[in-house]
Amino acid sequence: MIEAGLPAPRQGEPFLPGPVFASKYHLYGAPETSPYTYGRNDNPTWTRFEEALAELEGGPSVVFASGMAAVTAVLTEAVLHGRRRRPVLVMPSDGYNLARTLVRDHFEPLGVRVRSVPTTGPYDPATLRGASLVWIETPSNPGLDVCDLRTTTRAAHRAGALVAVDNTTATVLGQRPLAFGADFSVASDSKSLSGHSDLVLGHVATRERAWADRIRNFRKQQGAIPGPMETWLAHRSLATLALRLERQATNALGIARFLRTRREVRGVRYPGLPHDPSHEIAARQMRFYGPIVGFELASEARAERFLRAGRLLRSATSFGGLHTSAERRARWKSGDDVAPGFVRLSAGCEDLDDLIADLGAALDASRR
């Protein structure tokens, strides 16, 4: 983890060389003779980060300008440019909202047929028949349902489909989709992976080099390339991922347990809670249960008062950062199918006792 993607020690050189800013490189003769040609094609800072990701994911990786750019690359290559004329894409009905609207607005008009299935399944033969790609998100955002990666991947492969896992909520350290047989592991690195709320980035990892080459070629042609600065910051942050995830998971579990003791809080979900509906499967495939806790307050007004009353708790979207944050998901007009008082909280790395004191005070203040 801490060593991933670092060059071999050399006298007088830094551990992780800084970002390389270049639109072009010295290039004589045939372009194939140089590893670096033009800034949209390749960059040494991407190479180092991709080597780190490949080591952790267990397969060649390609970094993108955002999680959505990574999602788009996989959908384009695995569904649109597959062998079928009217490809079928199986997608979670409760997954990340923007992936679903991207498919609705830009892939369905090109002839892609979508079959929606809840994250918990069933992934039965009728659902999987003729599918080009099965898209999985586990734990799902924001509902925190899970699906069994091993059995779902097996069933999809039997039906002749490829499998992509959006691994954003878990990160590669929390769960390794390729090890469970998935063909693609896709993630937004804007969340826990980089973890400092200071950049937007994404990546795709693949089991086969040929797929990584296609995905990389798509990046070059389509142009959703990451900035060297963002890529370098993400690589630097990767070294502390284990420390951050461990603390976030401990805090999230402590917060979930605390929320369950409060009468005004309903429907607390955290895959690390022993009685959570997701726990049994999550325990089989996850190393860390992640930072996200879901729960409900009685109304929109109550949830908004709670979010404004927090001092350590910041009101913000997204998740996985050092600072504990939360939001009422229903505030997004085209958003998730959740109750008006549903709150998605992302546990940060603060002291747990301080956090619980702050959340308790905010819940008290939300009462009036």
Ligand X SMILES: *Cc1c(COP(=O)(O)O)cnc(C)c1O
Closer to ligand X by CB, 60 or 139: give it: 139
Does position 195 bind ligand X by CB under 6 A? Answer: no
Give the interface segment with ligand X, choosing from 26-34, 60-68, 294-302, 304-312 (CB under 6 A): 60-68
Does position 143 bind ligand X by CB under 6 A? Answer: no
DSSP 33: G
Closer to ligand X by CB, 77 or 137: give it: 137
Closer to ligand X by CB, 190 or 248: give it: 190
Count of chain residues binding ligand X (CB under 6 A): 15
Question: Which amino acid is located at 323 in the chain?
Answer: H
Give the interface segment with ligand X, choosing from 185-193, 241-249, 259-267, 273-281 (CB under 6 A): 185-193
Residues numbered 77 to 116 that lie near ligand X (CB under 6 A) are 96
Q: Is 145 within 8 Å of 115 (Cβ atoms)?
A: no
Closer to ligand X by CB, 61 or 366: give it: 61
CA angle 315, 118, 342 (to 5 degrees): 25
Instruction: Please name which of 123, 129, 130, 132 lies closest in space to residue 154, comparing C-alpha atoms.
Output: 123
Question: Which amino acid is located at 111 in the chain?
Answer: G
Does position 68 bind ligand X by CB under 6 A? Answer: yes
Which token pair is 325? 């944050």
Binding ligand X by CB under 6 A: which of 145, 166, 296, 327? 166
Q: Smallest gap, in angstroms, from Cβ of residue 320 to ligand X?
A: 8
Residues numbered 256 to 315 that lie near ligand X (CB under 6 A) are none
Binding ligand X by CB under 6 A: which of 120, 138, 141, 197? 141
Write the DSSP assignment of 184-249 as a string of letters.
EEEEETTTTTT-SSS---EEEEESSHHHHHHHHHHHHHH--PPPHHHHHHHHHHHTTHHHHHHHHH
Which residues, in sequence order, are bridge partners of residue 294? 269, 344
Report how far residue 3's alpha carbon sits from residue 51's, in angstroms, rounded to the nearest whole number: 11
Q: Give the residues lining the site for ligand X (CB under 6 A).
A: 66-68, 71, 96, 137, 141, 166, 168-169, 188, 190-191, 200, 202
